[in-house]
Structures are given as C-alpha cells and as structure tokens.
Amino acid sequence: MDFEKLVNCLESLIVPELEARARSLRGGPHFDEVRVTSQHQADRLHAIVIACHPKWSTDPCEHLTFTITICDEKWLSARADVSWDQIFRTGTSAGYVKPEGRGRMRKIATERDVCSFMEDWRILAARFDQAAAKGHPSARLLRFLRGAPRDIEAALRGGK
C-alpha cells in the first residue's frame, strides 16, 4: 500500500462518517460552526479533520477537533486524536491543547492494518461524540483559561 492509496482508503471510510456527525452537530445547542476537511499538510502528511467552534467561545481559533493524521516518513502510519484546542499565537501565551482522547501511531502496511486502525478510530469517535454532546471542556480548564483564581475552598475539601 502506498501513501496516496492509504489516504484515499481512509478518506472513503472516515469522511462520510465525519460528514454525518457534522450534519447532526450543525444547528445544535453547542456549536455555531462545524467543518470537515481533508487536505495534504506537507509532501507526505495528510489530515482529515472535523472542527467544531463552540458557541460559548469568543475566539474564532477555539475548537473541538477530531483529527486523523496520515504520514509516510519512515513508514506509512496513521493516528487519531480528539482535543479541545486554541491555536497558539506567535508572541503571546494564548493557546492550549486539552486532549480528550489520543490514539497511538499505527504502522499501516496491509488492509488488516487498516481494519485495526479503524477499530481504534471508532473508540476515539465515541470519545469525540461524548465531548461534542457535553459541548465544552472541563469547568476547571475553562476557569483557568479565563484567568479565574483557583477555587481554594474546593481544593481544601479535596476537589480541584
């Protein structure tokens, strides 16, 4: 299997499912923009992404993302990740990545390897669905991002 064949194979399996998720999230209570993209990031690097911008965020660079990365550096491989993120900006401390689920980089040489990757993908797709249904990262992270002081009383009670 070569790089382009792997990209085409995973696109045919994943993009329709992400499009279905995007349709169900659009117009819902949590996100005002939902996009699915599939594009080359570099010569031997491809990304398939669903990115959801939350209604509560005033920053257009803040998203819940489900990213599938396909690369061909030393060998063909793929990985899936789910995270809340805000793009880091040069010259500022703004930006964060809060993982909701991380897959492992899987070496892909055969159709059986693609099937194994898709099993991992389905587990992470369920995590994406859970995060999307919730509509926001943890309250602790949101407080931190907004510069709120740590809740000392909760910390003393054993909470975070």
Each residue's pLDDT tens digit, 69-112: 999 988 999 999 999 988 776 666 667 788 889 999 999 999 99
Reported pTM? 0.83
Residue 160: per-residue pLDDT = 47
Give the Cα-Cα-Cα angle 50, 52, 54 (nearest 5 degrees): 170
CA distance 99 to 104: 13
Low-confidence ranges of the chain (pLDDT < 50): 148, 152, 160
Report the pLDDT value the prediction gives residue 58, as an integer from 0 to 100: 83
Cβ atoms of residues 69 and 45 within 8 Å: yes
Kindly give, in sequence order, each residue whose CB lies less than 8 Å from that of residue 133, ignoring residues fewer than 6 positions away. Answer: none
